[in-house]
């Protein structure tokens, strides 16, 4: 393999740049040409592709976002879109791809291989950490630390005013961000899509805390929780506990930005190298990840279809530690 294309796709995450840097420098180190594809599959379709050198990735390891930009491409979901993407890759002589993204990105790469035979190696780039085949995804550690920093600040004001704060963190389908935020942020309750916590349980936990002379509370809600978003949950709880002074904070996209932590830079660098190595070893349609500190490659099919369950012991910890 002489020429590799690299792109980022889906929601960005801190550390994507570190991963791009590692892949580009590994390719250069091994004498392989590497081409950056801007804005994910959309850029592939448009031929927004440029040759990258070692200096193309100077001074980016510490930066959030992605220098290659990102997008969620509707056009790539069509056969015509994928045909055009293939034509563009042919034009540039690109024989293999490095895709930094989540399960949607890898599903697209799988279909692309079936139709056009272009192999892809993926790096898990999402703050959600909900990908099977790796203990951690690139950006997760940073996102959790960003959220925790905000939660600590909210706790100060919650305490000063004897308030209950309902704090919504990201995680469309997953509580991976919510759990360490709840444990590390000293929350009384955590609500996540993987398990059911009824409004009644929330009300009872708060009521019981109140009766034990607690005067301020933190409830962490993953955005994808079944009971609704933080605003809805807060309104329903407030109705049952009118004496409590409730406030809502939605942390939102602040969790997706900022300088990656040391852990994310390490993971991203390791996986960026693994993507190039994987392609050169002849691997295809697998995601590089780290499980129990060991580098692994997991098929895109497993990554897309298998769940990465939350450890129930962590939920129990929230209960025990908020007694």
Site residues for ligand F6P, window 195-224 (CB under 6 A)?
223
CA 100 – CA 97 distance, rounded (Å): 10
Binding-residue pattern over the window 255 to 294 for ligand F6P, x denoting contact by CB under 6 A: -x--------------------------------------
CA 21 – CA 29 distance, rounded (Å): 12
CA 52 – CA 70 distance, rounded (Å): 17
Using CB under 6 A, which of 37, 99, 118, 127 touches ligand F6P? 127
Cβ proximity to ligand F6P, 171 vs 272, nearer residue: 171
In this structure, what token pair is assigned to residue 229? 């978003």
Binding-residue pattern over the window 33 to 52 for ligand F6P, x denoting contact by CB under 6 A: --------------------
Binding-residue pattern over the window 129 to 168 for ligand F6P, x denoting contact by CB under 6 A: ----------------------------------------
Cβ at position 299, least distance to ligand F6P in Å: 21
Using CB under 6 A, which of 11, 15, 119, 133 touches ligand F6P? 11
Q: Kindly state the helix (H) or strand (E) to which residue 33 belongs, with its residue range.
A: strand 33-37
Asked whether residue 15 is marked as a ligand-binding residue, the answer is no
Report whether 138 contacts 15 (CB < 8 A).
yes
Cβ at position 251, least distance to ligand F6P in Å: 11
Cβ at position 40, least distance to ligand F6P in Å: 13
**Is residue 128 annotated as part of the catalytic site, yes or no?**
yes
Q: Which of 256, 262, 177, 265 is nearest to 220 (CA)?
A: 177
> SS3 for 104-161, per residue?
HHHHHHHHHHHHHCCCEEEEEECCCCCCCCCCCCECHHHHHHHHHHHHHHHHHHHHHH
Query: DSSP characters for 230-244?
Result: HHHHHHHHHHH-TTS
Annotation: binding site = 11, 21-25, 72-73, 102-105, 126-128, 155, 163, 170-172, 186-188, 212, 214-216, 223, 247, 253-256
Contacting positions for ligand F6P (CB under 6 A) = 11, 102, 126-128, 170-172, 223, 256
């Amino acid at each position: 393999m002489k020429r590799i294309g690299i792109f980022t796709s889906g929601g960005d995450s801190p550390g994507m740049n570190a991963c791009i840097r590692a892949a580009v420098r590994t390719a250069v180190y091994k004498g392989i040409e590497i081409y950056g594809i801007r804005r994910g599959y959309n850029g592939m379709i448009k031929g927004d592709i440029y040759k990258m050198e070692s200096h193309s990735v100077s001074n980016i390891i510490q930066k959030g976002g992605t220098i290659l930009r990102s997008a969620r491409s509707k056009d790539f979901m069509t056969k015509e879109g994928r045909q055009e993407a293939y034509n563009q890759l042919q034009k540039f002589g690109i024989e293999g791809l490095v895709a930094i993204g989540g399960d949607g990105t890898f599903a697209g790469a799988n279909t692309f291989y079936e139709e056009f035979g272009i192999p892809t190696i993926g790096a898990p780039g999402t703050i959600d950490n909900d990908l099977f085949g790796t203990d951690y995804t690139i950006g997760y550690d940073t996102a959790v630390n960003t959220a925790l920093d905000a939660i600590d600040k909210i706790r100060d004001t919650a305490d000063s005013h004897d308030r209950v704060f309902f704090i919504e963190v990201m995680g469309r389908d997953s509580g991976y961000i919510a759990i360490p935020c709840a444990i590390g942020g000293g929350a009384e309750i955590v609500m996540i899509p993987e398990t059911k916590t009824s409004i009644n349980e929330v009300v009872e936990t708060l009521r019981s805390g109140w009766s034990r002379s607690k005067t301020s509370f933190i409830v962490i809600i993953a955005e994808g929780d079944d009971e609704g978003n933080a605003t809805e949950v807060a309104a329903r709880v407030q109705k049952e506990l009118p004496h409590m002074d409730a406030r809502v904070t939605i942390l939102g996209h602040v969790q997706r930005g900022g300088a990656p932590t040391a852990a994310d830079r390490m993971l991203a660098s390791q996986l960026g190298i693994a993507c190039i190595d994987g392609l050169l070893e002849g691997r295809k349609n697998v995601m590089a990840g780290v499980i129990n500190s060991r580098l692994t490659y997991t098929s895109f099919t497993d990554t897309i279809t298998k769940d990465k369950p939350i450890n129930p012991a962590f939920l129990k910890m929230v209960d025990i530690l908020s007694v």
